Amino acid sequence: MKKIFIVLFVGATLFPLAWAGEARDQLNAFHQQMQTLQAHFEQQLVSDKGEIRQQVSGTVYIQRPGQFRWDYDPPYEQMIMADRHRLIIYDVDLEQVTVKKMDDALGQTPAVILSGDGDLEESFFIVELEPKQGLQWVELKPRSKEGNFISMQLGFVDGELSVMALEDGFGQLTIITLSQVVRNRPLPADVFEFAAPEGVDVVGDLD
């Protein structure tokens, strides 16, 4: 069975030096000002040996508070959506929908950066890093040990989030690059609505 490591659940350290710069300000402004976001993403899963194990792409939609949707393009077609109360995962190839309840553990994942509106300092240790590749970088490490990633680095340019790099407990690195970013514009009214296609298996409660 294929497994897609999305930004919500995977978390290496690319740039280990602390740096006094603009990254912290850009992180705070992004987190405080963003209400909606739509973007194209390119995602790579890199092994602890530096081998690229998977490359996927798609579109992400985010609306605060607590709503997001990741649509993965073929050949790994999948939809992952949260509607404040439920997490819905639709795997097209498996013809299966999985529904889970949202819980407090989500606050210790990267989802708090994108769809949450809580205090980042309460969930993460935050350190500015040296500018690299034309980006301002900041590193966040979860204060809780309950999450599935150990380090997350965010790269900003001109106030926009451009790159996320997440390390999990196995030394794997998930790198997500955003492009065609549109912030704080109304999203389609039905983007966070979902009805299971006829004939697919549903695990959990969609009602």
**pLDDT at residue 101 in the model:** 83
For residue 202, is it within any domain? no
Decide which of 140 and 1 is more confident: 140
Count other Cβ atoms within 10 Å, centred on residue 197.
10
**Average pLDDT of 2-26?**
49
User: Domain total for the chain?
Assistant: 1
129-167 tens-digit pLDDT: 999 889 999 999 988 877 678 899 999 998 899 999 999
Count of C-beta atoms within a 10 Å radius of residue 50: 7
Residue 5 pLDDT more than 60?
A: no
CB distance 88 to 195 below 8 Å: no
pLDDT at position 11 is 34
Flag whether pLDDT at 128 surpasses 90: yes
Asked, for residue 197, whether it belongs to a domain, the answer is no
Domain assignment of residue 140, yes or no: yes
Q: Does residue 4 form part of some domain?
A: no
Range 175-183 average pLDDT: 95
Q: What is the reported pLDDT for 20? A: 44
Q: Which domain range does residue 156 map to?
A: 23-186
pLDDT for residue 86 is more than 60: yes
Arithmetic mean of pLDDT over the chain: 84
Does 198 map to a domain? no
Of 52-56, 123-127, 146-150, 190-194, where does mean pLDDT reach its minimum? 146-150
Position 165 in a domain: yes
- Flag the least confident range among 28-32, 120-124, 183-187: 120-124
Q: Are 93 and 197 in contact (CB under 8 A)?
A: no
Give the Å distances, CA to CA, from 129 to 11, 40, 42, 112, 175: 18, 26, 23, 21, 17
Rounded-to-integer distance, Cα 177 and Cα 165, Å: 9
Full-model pTM: 0.84
Whether residue 70 lies inside any domain: the answer is yes
Higher pLDDT, 103 or 77: 77
pLDDT band at 191 (very low <50, low <70, confident <90, very high): very high
Instruction: Return the CATH number at 60.
Output: 2.50.20.10
Instruction: Out of 26-30, 38-42, 109-113, pick the least confident.
Output: 109-113
* pLDDT class of 112 with cuts at 50, 70, 90: low
Residue 195 maps to a domain: no
